Structure 1
């Protein structure tokens, strides 16, 4: 796994460099079939990452893959799952005048084996931060500093940090926050862009992340590998582990948690 991790790290960082070549500059923004935005940075990062991963001989399922290239994906027992630019809307804000952006968009690269993400890289190009995991260990590296091991934390008894917005996450998430408070626990909110919300759980900065709005497999695979290696999990509403290479690449609602003892199911709509 060491060689594959090095390859994934290099691919993600090269994709991030490609993205930064367009950051803060005028962009052409097209709309895909689902009305999500597509920029030159998305397509250039896709080309850069897939070219780097080609050395492994393992097929690639990317958000920007042509349909014909992934038509046989159900036969793949092992594949790379890639989001070349997760958080394109946030990236586009960097081209506004003046720029209004947190820089919290990411490059996501995961290795999926038999439906399970076993290796993951989430790279933040603007901030030079990289989260990654393999072989049951998760790490965070900031620029050229030494990597630091990260672990999810036990959930505090009297207060939880939940990655959610009271205003924009939807009525079910608002109800979840109310139920937690109804148990007598204080709730602090934490927020980050794109797949970094999962990484907050992985590094022990948050306890729970309910994601009830739609995602696709490339949005979650790399971050799930990191959360799981850090001791947490990513589950469906039925409390099943989120799996990959499904018939439909769209995910159901997903819930990331750091403490296996956290009884988060009691907070969901029944």
Structure 2
């Protein structure tokens, strides 16, 4: 099934790129939580949901662009968790750092994940405890790696205003930092380019599910600040607690 999900992510990515490459400015509207949404988000959402329903009609889909209500979700034991365009702010800025995120959740855990970056044409995927990166037609298994000093990856859109993050990094000791958008931060840790991704600001479960699956399969830990692994068991709120993705 993983290859079929990767293909679905590519199809969604193609639809996103049609909007991204258009000569006209991106038309942005605001959702009820004031987050931005574009025609690319909606086009990718429709492709992914239709594809998942055809592949596995028995598994419900939770997408950022059409989140099921709590009474509908509360009995779900497994479900697809989708962010059709993660990093909409980066998409609007046209910096290429956005992704298509698709994860399969079973028993509160992300057991399969795909993160596709359409501009970079890079596909990260994970299933059965293994993670891969496909780039330039070459697919290779990836895993975490140590480095001294460690490279800390931080959010491009949120880091400048995050006082908790600044304080954490000030106390960390010798390290380097790099900033990037979307769930690519999980993937940098997964492929060994970075060793830590600390997050204090708000995220939703669809922001993290696919990246979590990739990082976990590559050997990383994805825990909240109390040391508990991020949990996707259905709950009323879509918000995650703060967390860290690390090799240690």
Give TM class, smaller chain.
Answer: over 0.9
Which structure 1 segments of 5+ residues have no match? Answer: 95-100, 260-270
Contact 2:155/2:180 (<8 A) preserved: no
Distance in structure 2 (CA, Å) of the matches to 1:63 and 1:136: 26
User: Where does residue 86 of structure 1 map in the other structure?
Assistant: 86
Query: What's the secondary structure of 1:85's corresponding residue?
Result: strand
- Alignment partner for residue 151 of structure 1, among 140, 143, 149? 143
Query: What's the secondary structure of 1:75's corresponding residue?
Result: coil
Contact 1:236/1:252 (<8 A) preserved: yes
State the Cα RMSD in Å.
1.6
- Alignment partner for residue 178 of structure 1, among 158, 170, 174? 170
User: Where does residue 32 of structure 2 map in the other structure?
Assistant: 33
- Paired residue total: 241
Query: How far apart are 1:151 and its partner, in Å?
Result: 0.4
- 1:142 equivalent to 2:135? Answer yes
- Alignment partner for residue 108 of structure 1, among 98, 101, 104? 101
What's the CA shift string for 1:4-49, capped at 9, x where partnerless?
x122112111111110110133332110011110111101100011
Query: What's the secondary structure of 1:147's corresponding residue?
Result: strand
| 4+ residue runs over 4 A deviation | none
Distance 1:77 1:149, change over 3 A: same
- 1:61 equivalent to 2:36? Answer no
**TM-score normalized by the length of structure 1:** 0.85
Output aligned runs, 1:1-270, within 5 Å: 3=1, 5-25=2-22, 26=24, 27-55=26-54, 56-57=56-57, 58-65=59-66, 67=68, 71-94=71-94, 101=95, 103-143=96-136, 145-154=137-146, 156=148, 159-164=149-154, 168=160, 170-181=162-173, 186-244=174-232, 245-259=234-248
Query: What's the secondary structure of 2:102's corresponding residue?
Result: strand
Distance 1:113 1:67, change over 3 A: closer
Query: What's the secondary structure of 1:164's corresponding residue?
Result: strand
Structure with higher Rg: it is: 1
Query: How far apart are 1:254 and its partner, in Å?
Result: 1.2
Which structure 2 segments of 5+ residues have no match? Answer: none
Contact 1:61/1:82 (<8 A) preserved: yes
